[in-house]
A and B are shown apart, each in its own frame.
Chain A
Amino acid sequence: AQSVTQPDIHITVSEGASLELRCNYSYGATPYLFWYVQSPGQGLQLLLKYFSGDTLVQGIKGFEAEFKRSQSSFNLRKPSVHWSDAAEYFCAVGDSTSGTYKYIFGTGTRLKVLA
C-alpha cells in the first residue's frame, strides 16, 4: 500500500536557524508530492507541489523542497525560520493506483520556534 512517513513528530528550532522537515513516501510510479502547513485552528494551506521536472521546487513563505527519487524523499527546507512559521506541516502523496486519484497524508510534524 502507498504510504507517507514523517519521522519527526516534533521539531524545535531557534528563530533564524535553518529548517529541514523530512518526508519519505512509498509509491510505485512517479508521485505527485505536496507539502501543506496548518496553523492552530485553521485548515491546511498548500506550501508547494511537485508534479514533474525540476526536482527542487519553490513554494510560498520562502520554503523549498527537493524530490529525490533514489531516496524516496521529499524534504521541506527553509534557510531562516521566522516565529510565524510555528505550525504543523504535512507531507502528502497523490495516489492513483486504485483507479481514482486521492491523497495520502503523513502524520505531520509540529514545528516550534524559539525566540
Chain B
Amino acid sequence: NAGVTQTPKFQVLKTGQSMTLQCAQDMNHNSMYWYRQDPGMGLRLIYYSASEGTTDKGEVPNGYNVSRLNKREFSLRLESAAPSQTSVYFCASSVFSNQPQHFGDGTRLSIL
C-alpha cells in the first residue's frame, strides 16, 4: 500500500503563479486534511474534508482553495502564490475525523 501520496515533492514558483498540490490516499479513508509546516510553528490546518462532498476551513485558509475530487483525492490550490506561502505542505487522511491521521511525505514549496 502506498498510503498517502503527494505530488509534486518539490516545486519552485514565482510570485503570482498558480499551482495545485495533489493528494491521494488508497486506504478508503473518509477524512482528508491539508496542513502547512513552518519552522517553530508546528503544523497548521489549512483546509479539511471530514467526508466526501464536504470541505471546511481550518486555521489558515487565506490564499488557498481545495477540492475533494472523490473519496481518494483532495487537492490544494494556490491561485496567486505569495512568498508567505513558502512552506512544507502535508496531506493527511483518517478513517473518520476522530481517528489517527496518516500523513504523506510532504511537498516542499518555494515561492520567489
Contacts and interface: CB of A to CB of B under 8 A. Distances in A.
Contacts of A90: 42-43
Contacts of B74: none
Interface stretch (A14-22, A68-76, A77-85, A103-111): A103-111
Contacts of B50: 100-101
A113 to B, nearest CB: 21
Contacts of A101: 50, 96-98
B100 interface: yes
Interface in B48-73: 48, 50, 56, 58
Contact of A43 (B45, B48, B98, B104): B104
A107 B106 contact: no
A94 B94 CA distance: 13
Q: Size band of the B side of the interface? A: 20 to 34
A105 to B, nearest CB: 4
Given A90-B42, A105-B43, A107-B41, A46 B100 contact: yes
A102 B48 contact: yes
Contacts of B33: 102-103
**7 closest Cβ contacts across the A-B interface?**
A43-B103, A101-B97, A107-B42, A105-B42, A105-B43, A44-B103, A101-B98
Interface of A: 9, 32, 34, 36, 41-46, 49, 90, 94, 96, 100-103, 105-108
Given A42-B106, A43-B103, A102-B33, 17 more contacts: A44-B43, A44-B90, A44-B103, A46-B101, A46-B102, A94-B98, A96-B98, A100-B48, A101-B50, A101-B98, A102-B45, A102-B48, A106-B42, A107-B40, A107-B41, A107-B42, A108-B42
